[in-house]
Amino acid sequence: MKKTGLLNTNRKSLKRMLLLCFFSLLVPASILIHHTYKQLELEAYYQYRVLAEELTSRINKNLDNIISEEEKRAFTDYSFLNVSGDQTASLLQRSPLSAYPVKQSIPGIISYFQVDSNGVFSTPLLPPETTESNRFGIDNKELSERKRLHTRAYHILLASKIVPENPIQNSIQTSEQSPKPVVNKASSITADSRDVDFSDEKIAAQILTPGQTAYDAFDRLEKPTERKKLAKKSRQSSLGRVKDINIAPAYGEIIAKEQRTRGYQEKAKKLVAAKFRRREKNILPQQREASKNISSSDYSIKLFESEVGAFNIGMLDSGHFVLFRNVWQNEKRQIQGAIIDSEKFIQGVIKVEFMDTALSDLSKLAVAFEGNIYALFGQKYESSYRSETELTGSLLFQSRLNAPLNDMTLIYSINTLPTGAGSTIVIWTGAILLSALCVIFIFIYRLGSSQIKLVQQQQNFVSAVSHELKTPLTSIRMYGEILKEGWADEEKKKTYYHFIYDESERLSRLISNVLQLARMTRNDMPVNLKPVSVNRLIDNIKSRLSSQAGQAKFELVLKCDDSLAERQINIDEDYFIQIIINLVDNAIKFSTKADKKQIDIHCAIHQGNKL
């Protein structure tokens, strides 16, 4: 037990030392691999962030082109008729905005509109006199569709209280003899009343109530504080709030710094856009009296100067976008703009661009306006998400669009960053390194354990050999002293001489065994094989073992088949006899207390031709 405990102690010490070396190599290697992988992730993050920035730039460029085209429109384009050329040319023509269906210069546009200084709502879809629509190439079916779109545009603004709910006035005469319009106070249009009777060829133009201005609602859309109040109302049509989405910044400090810088730039852009105004000279036709054919002689040409402001955009309670600008004519303010379907606008301007990039396969994009999320799509989904809870992952990039859409924010998120082939190499290198370390240290531990065990066996062998050598030496010394002192008679002397001789033979065999073991360990043990008969081997064994067995009071029994007596076998006779002697010695040594003391050595054929 003591030896076993010592062996276990050595093994434990070896295990502790190897574990210490293993972790001293594993920890720095793991840190290095971890930082390498993080570096690859960071590179992939910036790679996809650049893609998101480029996509946002393209979207901004497209929006800038759209807004630029709209800003180029003259004040007179929002009327059904205008004059081409200078005042002397007086070439009367239809406005480019009077086309039906409405040209989709803005994705999702429903209709252009205008609210003059008196609060009269109009669209460029209808001629000044609907009864004279045939003169402008508009048949009754198209006129009905134009009226329906005109009324739809009005009801969208009315539902959001952008234009007041006012009595209907017949601004367009049904014929040349029709009287001047009279306000019918008993009839009114509400936000829920979407059907208007056009059977009497009338169209509604809304007149403001006393003390009310038509552009108060548009002022509320322009003011930040008022927009926040309107944004709270529009939450019902949104998917949620930006602050409620479950997105964690991937690299918070970098993003926060960039957002602060971007915020300053956007504020500067917004201030510049707010101050932008331009002056232009316009020519508008004013009708004298109706005639069957369109002619510039039927209209008086009026030249005036107007001041046109920059476009702004707001979200209505109905979820529509309204793009509008202020126009000043003779110190009087008018509103011109367009009503836009927000879903079609976002899909046409943002989603189409997003789905054509590699970002759509890996990331998600949230489109927010004034803090409310109105669209969530991406990551191989054909349709939009339904709530902000579906938008998870890490923030990839976040940016506001250029004015006037600077209240619209694009939020890119990503769940897993593809790190490319480099990460695969790093992972495989780490796995191979870890496996190699494990295999090497397991091999070293097993090799060390086997060496410890071998050393222990050698120590045990030395102890056993020392004990075996000490026993015959002690006996020889004792009997030698007896004979030296003359304490034994002649008869006992002979017995002592034989005993000394036998112990000397035993000692010689032990020494010979140790030397042979040493040669075996060094693989330096020559074997002299030669043919020897079985009968000769049996006789030699009997002569060498008889006295040894007789002294130990054991009976030696040697048996061999008669058919094998003359058979020749290739064998080293000395080594063979030495092996038999060692076996008999061990048998005698460990069987001294046996009831039957007999040693049997038999010779027979085994498995065909084996002896």
| Structural domains of the chain, ranges and CATH numbers in brackets | 78-250+276-349 (no CATH), 528-611 (3.30.565.10)
User: How far apart are alpha carbons 299 and 175 in whole angstroms?
Assistant: 17
For 262, other C-beta atoms within 10 Å of its C-beta total 13
Question: Which comes out higher in pLDDT, residue 510 or 396?
Answer: 396
**pTM (2 decimals)?**
0.61
pLDDT digits (tens, 9 = 90+) for 303-353: 556 788 889 998 888 889 999 998 888 888 889 999 999 999 999 999 999
Assess whether pLDDT exceeds 50 at residue 202.
Answer: no
The secondary structure of residue 153, as a DSSP letter, is: H
User: How far apart are alpha carbons 367 and 262 in whole angstroms?
Assistant: 18
Token reading at 42: 């960071």
CA 137 vs CA 98, 142, 220, 434: distances in Å: 12, 10, 40, 83
Q: What is the pLDDT of residue 317?
A: 82
User: How far apart are alpha carbons 342 and 127 in whole angstroms?
Assistant: 28
CA 57 vs CA 54, 310, 504, 507: distances in Å: 5, 21, 105, 100
Token reading at 185: 């106070």
What's the chain's average pLDDT? 75
Q: What is the pLDDT of residue 180?
A: 37
Q: What is the pLDDT of residue 378?
A: 77
* Residue written as token pair 């796995």: 431
Assess whether pLDDT exceeds 60 at residue 389.
Answer: no
Q: What is the pLDDT of residue 426?
A: 85
What helix, strand, coil percent values describe the chain, rounded to 5? 50, 20, 25
